[in-house]
Every structure is written in structure tokens, then in C-alpha cells.
Amino acid sequence: MRALLLTRRWLGFTVLAVVVAAGCVRLGLWQLHRAEQRSAATAAVSERTARAPVPVRDLLEVDRRPDASIQWRRVTASGRYDAASTLLLRNQVLDGRTGYHVVVPLMLDDGSALLVNRGWVPRTGPATAPVAVPEPPTGQLTVTGRVRTGDRVADDAGLERSDQPQPSVGRLDPSRVAAGRPLLGGYVELIAEDPRPGQTPTPVPPPQGRNPGINYSYAAQWMLFAVVGVVGWWFLLRRERDHAAQASVDGGATLTRTG
């Protein structure tokens, strides 16, 4: 078998098998690393959403983008909605249907404003048709919501207003829609309003943890491919060795008969 392995053809085949098996193992380890990352991200989201709500000014500052480490933390804020400045966030999908997120500034008692995503409403007609948006409650109220950092938009892409009757944007960057008012960085996804209004948009679903199971499955598949490659290489090597040995026996037998 050693002589067969040292042939030029089998040296090349062996190198190829080693490279393929090593590549499969490397991809399997990468999938395991991705699974660990997903598990850690899911644990972080669960830990943040489980914390008790804190006043919004404890986490958010005017004109300052919040750090990603506080995303999904729950906060409370008190003030009055500025319904005239309602903004629609386009192309939001819920249960397979396209619609809009309804974003309304909440004017806080200290004079600053906080963008509140009150939830989702469906698109029921052409893009130019008016969108049926439930009116936000009037008067003083307290909202509870989840902190979101918002999109970071370097230019005006996604910030252009559409030809709808209501102002709308394709991406939400609070720093670009302040309209001259002191606006807290980031925004919040509404969980509850007190007092509770009679009609509201459909609440935005809470964050879902990423299931690492698919990564573990891919890791197992890549490791299996590596094993199959090595076993296949060994099987072919033994088969060729056996064929060579049989050919030698047959050749010897032929010489014996002819002699």
C-alpha cells in the first residue's frame, strides 16, 4: 500500500482529500462558533427584556445615538403625543402582510421629544392611498416601551418622503428626522400606554431569540462530510490495492500456465 500511496496520482489524490476534509472541519467549527454567538445574543436579549423598566432619561440622551448594549431595555416616559408630526415607516411586514409602523413623537415634560413606534397598520390599497392610522390618545400619558437604536443613515437614502398623503420614510434614523426639536437618540417600540386608548395599531412583536439549532445541524453535516471524505479516500485506496494484488496473482497464474 505504501508504494501505491507514493505514486504521483495517489499523492495528488491524498492531498486533495486532506484539503477537503480540513475545509469541512473548519466550516463545521465555524458553524459551532456561530451557534455560540447566537446563544449568547439570545441570552443577552432575554436578560435585557427581563429587567424592570427605568425612566427613559436614564438611558437615552438628546441627539446621541444609544449604545447597542441597551437595545431592548424597557423604559417609561411621560408626556403628550404630537399627533400632527406622525411619521409612517414603510415596508414593514407582519404575518406576511405589508404595512407601516406608526411613529409619533412624545413631547416630554422637560421639553425634549421621544419617538414612539406605536405599532403596525396594514396597507389596504395602492401606495398613494391614505393609510388608516388610529389617532394617538390626547392628554398626559405614560408609555412603556423597548429601546431601539434606529438605523444609521449616512445620506438621504430612505429618508425621502413618499407621495402619500401622510409623511413616510423607508428607514428610521432619529438624528435625521428631528425637525429642529431636541430629540432623544434612538426610539422605543410601544409595549403599553397608560391610560390605555380604545383603538391602537397592532403592537410590534417582542424580539425573538435566534435558534442556534440550525447552526449545530450544519456543523454536524460538515463534520459528516469530512468523515465521508476520509472514509471514501480509504475505501478507494484499498480497492485499488486489492485490484493491483489480484492483477498480480492473475498475471502470475497466466505465466505458470504458459510456461
- Asked whether residue 171 carries a pLDDT value surpassing 60, the answer given is yes
Are 31 and 222 contacting, i.e. CB atoms less than 8 angstroms apart?
A: yes
Map out the domains of the chain as residue ranges: 2-43+212-258, 73-194
Give CA–CA dist 181/113, Å, rounded.
7
| Burial letters 56-92, b for 16+ CB under 10 A, else e | beebbebeeebeeebbbbbbbbebbbeeebbbbbbeb
Tally Cβ neighbours within 10 Å of residue 52: 7
Instruction: Give the whole-number percent of the chain exceeding pLDDT 70.
Output: 84
Q: What is the pLDDT of residues 105-161, one digit of tens each?
A: 999 988 899 999 999 999 887 767 788 899 999 999 999 999 999 887 655 554 455
Q: Spell out the residues 6+ positions from residue 119 whose beta carbon is closer than 8 angstroms to its own.
A: 101, 102, 190, 200, 201, 202, 203, 204
Q: In the predicted model, what is the mean pLDDT of residues 204-220?
A: 84
DSSP state of 123: -
Q: Which three cell numbers stand for residue 161?
A: 418622503
